[in-house]
A and B are shown apart, each in its own frame.
Chain A
Amino acid sequence: MRISRIVTQRIAFTLLTLVMAATMLGILAIIAYIFLKGLPALSPEFIFSMPTHGMREGGIWPAIVGTVYLTLGTAVIAVPIGLLAAVYLSEYASDSPFTRAIRIAIVNLAGIPSVVYGLFGLALFVLFLGLGSSIAAACLTLSIMTLPVIISTAEEALRSVPQAFRLVSVSMGGTRWQTVWRIVLPQALPGILTGVILGLERAAGETAPILFTGAAYFLPQLPKSIFDGTMALPYHLFVISTQVPGMPVKIQYGTALVLLIFVLAMNLVATLIRSYYRSRRQW
């Protein structure tokens, strides 16, 4: 009896380990494969030049620039709104049914399919507000999609600041906002930053929300204003892997790798910030 229990445990743990290892190896394999296949394509020309010959030659510079614009634009809109919303939930709101409704709304925003955001952006920003298919419309759409990620991680970071910090500030005559601005926000900053970067990482890699709101198939020059459409890395990868016949595989893998590096770099920065500040935290 005793042995069989231990044998069962051994079998179960072996299975768990195998499944876990398969998952991790799968993730590793995806990344390694793209690096292996994509690295030969990478060169300064590939990164810094315009696509030529129906995108079958040349570089992907406009797509890279476009993704940077979209990510920055999304940050400019989503970070202040998300941050203030998180401050509201953690510092101002009481536990009322209305607050609960806000939380439910946030959870729902996070779950809405990205292509539905695309539809919404098309209806509201592109057509109703007349922004047209533009960087502005795409950024607004991506911002609303990113908002729930930023709000929930920022709120968690704000809540982890000990109550005593706030009490001291208030007892010395600080107003509510002074307490938030001078005491709570600086303490929560690393956690907030991590959340913001993870949210923007998602925005940078998304295609469906920008399909009808700002992404362009091909543009001969870089966008000149926020009311121009733009090329973007994820959409470009989609286009060259499904819409362009006779596309050289090398350029496809190169584009996939650049997008992957973009996203992994953001992920790495977020992880580093988190682990660095967690180890230094004194409370």
Chain B
Amino acid sequence: MTKRRKLLEFVIQGLIRLCGYSAIVFVALIFLFLLQEGLPALSEVPLSSLLGARWYPIQNLFGLLPLLLGSIVVTLGAAVIAIPFGVATAVFIAEVAPRWMREILKPFVEILAGLPSVVLGFLGILVLVPLIRTGFNLPTGLTALTGSILLAAMSLPTIVSVAEDSLDAVPKSYRDGALALGATKWQTIWRVTLPAAKSGVLTAIMLGLGRAIGETMAVMMVTGNAAQMRWDALFYPIRTMTATIAAEMGEVARGTTYYHVLFLIGMILFLISFLVNILASSMLFRAKKRAERMLS
């Protein structure tokens, strides 16, 4: 081996290593910058204000509860719609559809994953909002429900693809065993395949909802952005954490309390997605370990 080749090998190896570590570096950087810009908010705004129910930044009232409630209501609404649709579609694709149909359906779901959220938000404004207003006889169609429907569409691809993967990973011998005992195809799915893929399906739901709570544009466009607390929030305008950042960051001066509070909201969103993803991946990891044990 020539000297030059050795040097090249060394340099490239170093580069590869560096890029390999990049993901950790970026996660750390994101967290550090959110901390640096967000933490000052905790000392500048009294905790009682942060935990209050009023979000009026002009009057220095930074109550995060209505925003948190808004995000939760929209996400729960999305869950109610997306879970049955997503899981049923995944079961159909993985267990019922013949091979040729799978090859068509899977790219189709991928198309939905690729639809920009502004496009959905735009259609939401023009089509869904009037429908909701007249359908439920509401003063405005810009409601949490409208946001939930769009979010359901957006979290569907994640739920379908992760759930389908986990159904696919159930060993064929399980199904063969059930069928050999005289179970119908549906009994096999319901009593054997789905329970065996349970943790994967749960992970799929978690990841889908994690995606939903972090979605910004479509939600901002159709939910009306009114920070209010009420228990029938589903049928009224709400304001989510993501929409608050997106709508207000542009007008805020750097270094002000307002600016720091918006970064604090970003930190909360980061921590939520961090928790969801750690939980989801540890669930998948454990499920894999268990499957390996059972098969060996």
> Residue A120 at the B interface, CB < 8 A?
yes
Which residues of A come within 8 Å of B, CB atoms? 5-6, 8-9, 12-13, 15-17, 19-20, 22-24, 26-27, 30-31, 33-34, 80-85, 87-89, 92-93, 101-120, 122-124, 127-128, 144, 147-148, 151, 175-177, 198, 201-202, 204-208, 211-212, 234-235, 237-238, 241-242, 249, 252, 256, 259-260, 263-264, 266-267, 271, 275
B19 & A84 in contact (Cβ 8 Å cutoff): yes
Query: Known contacts A116-B214, A205-B115: does B278 contact A144 (CB below 8 Å)?
Result: no
Look across to chain B and name the residue whose beta carbon is closest to the beta carbon of A6: B184
Given A30-B123, A120-B33, the answer on whether A114 and B216 have CB atoms closer than 8 Å is yes
**Least CB distance, A282 to chain B, in whole angstroms:** 20
Please report which residues of chain B, range 6-25, place their CB below 8 angstroms from some CB of chain A when the two chains form the complex.
8-9, 12-13, 15-24
Is the CB–CB distance between A112 and B246 below 8 Å? no
Contact check, A263 vs B110: say whether CB atoms are below 8 A apart. no
Count CB-based A-B contacts (< 8 Å): 263
Q: Determine if B181 is an interface residue (Cβ-Cβ < 8 Å).
A: no
27 example contacts (A-B, Cβ-Cβ < 8 A) are as follows A8-B187, A9-B184, A20-B97, A23-B109, A30-B123, A33-B127, A84-B15, A85-B16, A85-B20, A108-B27, A109-B26, A111-B214, A112-B270, A114-B215, A116-B266, A116-B273, A119-B266, A120-B33, A122-B249, A123-B37, A128-B33, A201-B114, A212-B249, A234-B119, A241-B122, A241-B221, A267-B111
B242 in contact with A113 (CB, 8 Å): yes
A202 proximity list for chain B (CB < 8 A): 114
Q: In the complex, A144→B112 CA distance in Å?
A: 22
Q: Is the interface of A mostly helix, strand, loop or mixed?
A: helix
Cβ A115 vs Cβ B269 within 8 A: yes
Q: Which of B58-74 contact A (CB under 8 A)?
A: none
Contact for B119 among A201, A237, A275, CB less than 8 A: A237
**CA of A104 to CA of B85, assembled, Å:** 28
Q: Which of these binds chain A: B86-94, B169-177, B230-238?
A: B86-94
B side interface size, CB within 8 A: 89
| A176 contacts B9, C-beta separation under 8 Å | yes
B202 within 8 A of A: no
B185 CB contact (under 8 Å) in A9, A27, A92, A104: A9
Closest-CB distance, A126 to chain B (whole angstroms): 10
Are the CB atoms of B84 and A207 closer together than 8 Å? no
- Residues in B with CB closer than 8 Å to A34 are 119, 123
Q: In whole angstroms, how far apart are the Cα atoms of A198 and B187 in the complex?
A: 37
Give complex CA distance A133, B17 in Å.
31
Report A-chain residues with C-beta under 8 Å of the C-beta of B80.
none
Q: Please report which residues of chain B, range 89-148, place their CB below 8 angstroms from some CB of chain A when the two chains form the complex.
A: 89, 91-93, 96-97, 103, 105, 107-112, 114-123, 125-127
Q: Establish whether residues B37 and A20, one from each chain, have CB atoms under 8 Å apart when the complex forms.
A: no
Residue of B nearest to A263 (CB): B114
**A19-B85, A205-B117, A267-B111 are known contacts. Are A119 and B105 too (CB-CB below 8 A)?**
no
- The secondary structure that dominates the B interface is helix
A17-B92, A116-B30 known; A108-B273 Cβ under 8 A: yes
When distances are taken between beta carbons in the complex, the residues of chain B under 8 Å from A249 are: 126
The chain B residues found within 8 Å of chain A, CB to CB, are 1, 5, 8-9, 12-13, 15-24, 26-27, 29-30, 33-34, 36-37, 84-85, 88-89, 91-93, 96-97, 103, 105, 107-112, 114-123, 125-127, 153, 156, 184-187, 189-190, 207, 210-211, 213-217, 221, 242, 245-246, 249-250, 254, 262-263, 266, 269-270, 273-274, 276-278, 280-281
Shortest CB distance A17–B (Å): 7
Contact A24 B108 (CB under 8 A): yes
A233 to B276 CA separation, bound complex (whole angstroms): 31
A214 CA / B89 CA spacing, docked (Å) = 38
Q: How far is the CA of A120 from the CA of B38 in the complex (A)?
A: 11
- Chain B nearest CB from A266 CB (Å) reads 8
List chain B residues, Cβ under 8 A from A211: 246, 249-250
B185: A residues at CB distance < 8 A: 9, 13
Asked if residues B92 and A119 are in contact (CB atoms below 8 Å), the reply is no
A283 to B53, CA, bound (A): 61
A20 lies within 8 A of B92 (CB): yes
B123:A112 contact, CB within 8 angstroms: no
Contact A206 B125 (CB under 8 A): no
Asked whether A31 and B111 contact (CB < 8 A) given A120-B30, A176-B13, the answer is yes
Partner among A81, A88, A107, A264 whose Cβ is within 8 Å of the Cβ of B17: A88
A271: B residues at CB distance < 8 A: 107, 110
Provide the residues of chain A in CB contact with B263, threshold 8 Å: 119, 123
| Residues of chain B within 8 A of A122, CB atoms compared | 249
CA of A176 to CA of B6 in the docked complex: distance in angstroms?
Answer: 11
Q: How far is the CA of A238 from the CA of B125 in the complex (A)?
A: 11
B122 touches A252 (CB 8 A): yes
Whether A177 contacts B8 by the Cβ 8 Å rule is yes
